[in-house]
Amino acid sequence: MRKVGILLIALALVVTSCKNEKKESKTETTPTEKFVVKPEATSITWKAYKTTEKIGVGGEFTTVNFKEQAGASPQEALNNLSFSIPISSLFTNDATNTRDAKIKTSFFGAMLDTELIKGTLNYENDIVVASLTMNGVTHNLPMDIIITEERRVSLTGTMNLADWNALDALASLNKVCFDLHKGPDGISKTWEDVAIEVNTFLRKN
């Protein structure tokens, strides 16, 4: 009888031990929180410049395409993010409703690829570089990054159109906007540099 009692106690200890192991295993496999970047939360704005006084002309691309991407950190979520921007989504909110067509036709229309700007975002060691392909040329665009406590991300950089062999396209645009790009000095000028700003929000799940 004593042997039976000892056997039952040993069996109870084994069962209890197995339950504890299962609980510990369950705790270890709990998924970690992820940061997620989504295209619908992302906006791209730009500012070009005209006249010798360098007056800014702003606009945006209302569409940016990429697959939703997640990571254990903001850096991981943004790193190696590939995207494309349809030229057709360019919008400047021009009251005359003529500027958008001129930019699409005379600037982007004078390039090798008239449909998309493509790129990949590389974010390593607190350095952000966008590898952009436009006009058949791929060139790196360094960008400054700010990430707030609210997980809002701002990327800013300045493109020099010469780096994408786009000066002929720029001259084409200046030709159709010749009088509009004149300042008080009577000189018509369209600048080579374009300021770029990307804003997005990192969702947690």
Number of structural domains found in the chain = 2
What Å distances lie between residue 81 and 76, 128, 145, CA to CA? 9, 11, 15
Q: Which two tokens stand for residue 9?
A: 């106690």
Closest CA to 66 of 121, 115, 124, 113: 121
Cα torsion 9, 11, 16, 19 to 10°: value is: -170
pLDDT of residue 126: 87
Indicate whether 117 and 160 sit together in one domain.
yes
Indicate whether 75 and 148 sit together in one domain.
yes
* pLDDT value at 5 more than 80: no
94 Cβ contact partners less than 8 Å away, ≥ 6 residues apart: 100
- The mean pLDDT of 1-5, rounded to a whole number, is 46
Structural domain that includes position 195: 32-204
Lowest-confidence pick of 13-17, 57-61, 160-164, 186-190: 13-17
pLDDT of residue 23: 42
89: three-class secondary structure by DSSP: helix
User: Interior CA angle at 154 toward 165 and 101, to 5°?
Assistant: 45
Indicate whether 18 and 114 sit together in one domain.
no
Indicate whether 52 and 135 sit together in one domain.
yes
Indicate whether 70 and 148 sit together in one domain.
yes
pTM of the model: 0.81
Indicate whether 45 and 146 sit together in one domain.
yes
> pLDDT tens digit string along 93-152?
998 889 999 999 999 999 998 899 999 999 988 899 999 999 999 999 999 999 999 999
Indicate whether 41 and 94 sit together in one domain.
yes
